[in-house]
Amino acid sequence: MSKRGRIVLAAFLASSLCLTAAAPPPSIVYEAYPEITPRGYVCHRATGRMVIDGKLDEAAWAAVPWSEDFLDIEGHGRPKPRFRTRMKMLWDDDYLYIGASLEERHVWATLKTHDSVIFNDNDFEVFLDPDGDSHLYAELELNALNTTWDLLLTKPYKDGGKAIDAWEIKGLKTAVFVDGTINDPRDKDKGWSIEIAWPWKSLAELSNTASPPRDGDQWRINFSRVQWRHEIDGGKYRKVKGAKEDNWVWSPQGVIDMHRPERWGVVQFSTAAPGKAAFVADPAARTRHLLHHVYYAQKDFHKARGRWATALSELGLKGREFDAIRLETTSSQFEASGAPPKSKERWRIRSDAQIRRD
């Protein structure tokens, strides 16, 4: 190579090295993590025999209050749902009972095969995590034809969780009552109501939590309603092509994702008479929120940098509220931990979103 060629090559390599060295690392886009207070419901013991027919006309149902109206999955800042949805809960030695009322002017459904993807119809969904660790939780969906889909999630989809469709809720009872005429667009309906009797024996498979629960026990639970916009064609209902579904929930998620169990509501079981027990807020709620804030920041950091942050400062999490949070990181995973004020218990969250207390 000539002298001139060597000079040109050296200049090119030097320029390339400068460009490489000057290239900034990829930016980190952190998902906003607002603090959402989960809704709570005191679930009282049923008095008398429950008949699962979808009508919610037993005296036991009349004795307990309805929940708050459902709202958009993202929260209060979104449009109010077009139709009202409410739920109630009861329990006895054998079952957790769930009742729901769904206002709807045109009740329709198409799916008739068990374990179909029910949310392709308008549906009602239950999500239940007895021990609140965000792993191994149940989902139940049903439409206005009382067709059901029960599935078990090993962990949230965002953490690589898989849905186990083969899992069955043994002894489950469900019923739907339509106040109107289903699949008939010639008239207007009032809506449909649902009754569910979920056996404790099945729920015992999900955790070591007492099942049936004890007085005062709290479980994580949420409810969702998927509602599609429809049109009438040839005397039949069909979904509006290209229209997105509405997602209305009891306790808001803040995002369009039901599989964030830490944002579900809370059911508190009580042996007291209706109206005689108050809901008790979780004293560890603030600590759990901070730990999940670390978890989501770590996920975003890892996506941009290809590694876990080794200090909270790398995540931009500063301030006195994070002083009590400890972060431990290896090349493959992390764990953050913290203790609520004036408490001896310590909470820990892993890189796969499982949260537990010592």
pLDDT at residue number 8: 46
pLDDT digits (tens, 9 = 90+) for 37-80: 999 999 999 999 999 999 999 999 999 999 999 999 999 889 99
Give the span between the Cα atoms of 93 and 233, in whole angstroms. Answer: 48
pLDDT at residue number 24: 67
The partner residues of 152 in beta bridges, in order of sequence, read 138, 164
Q: Decide if pLDDT at 5 tops 80.
A: no
pLDDT at residue number 283: 93
Give the span between the Cα atoms of 230 and 34, in whole angstroms. Answer: 33
Q: Decide if pLDDT at 132 tops 60.
A: yes
Q: Which residue has the higher pLDDT, 207 or 13?
A: 207
Percentage above 70 pLDDT, the chain: 93
The partner residues of 247 in beta bridges, in order of sequence, read 226
pLDDT at residue number 339: 95
pLDDT digits (tens, 9 = 90+) for 213-254: 999 999 999 999 999 999 999 999 999 999 999 999 999 999
Q: Decide if pLDDT at 1 tops 80.
A: no
Q: Decide if pLDDT at 82 tops 90.
A: yes
pLDDT digits (tens, 9 = 90+) for 303-327: 999 999 999 999 999 999 999 999 9
Q: Decide if pLDDT at 19 tops 50.
A: no
Average pLDDT value for residue range 100-106:
98
Percentage above 90 pLDDT, the chain: 87
Q: Decide if pLDDT at 4 tops 60.
A: no
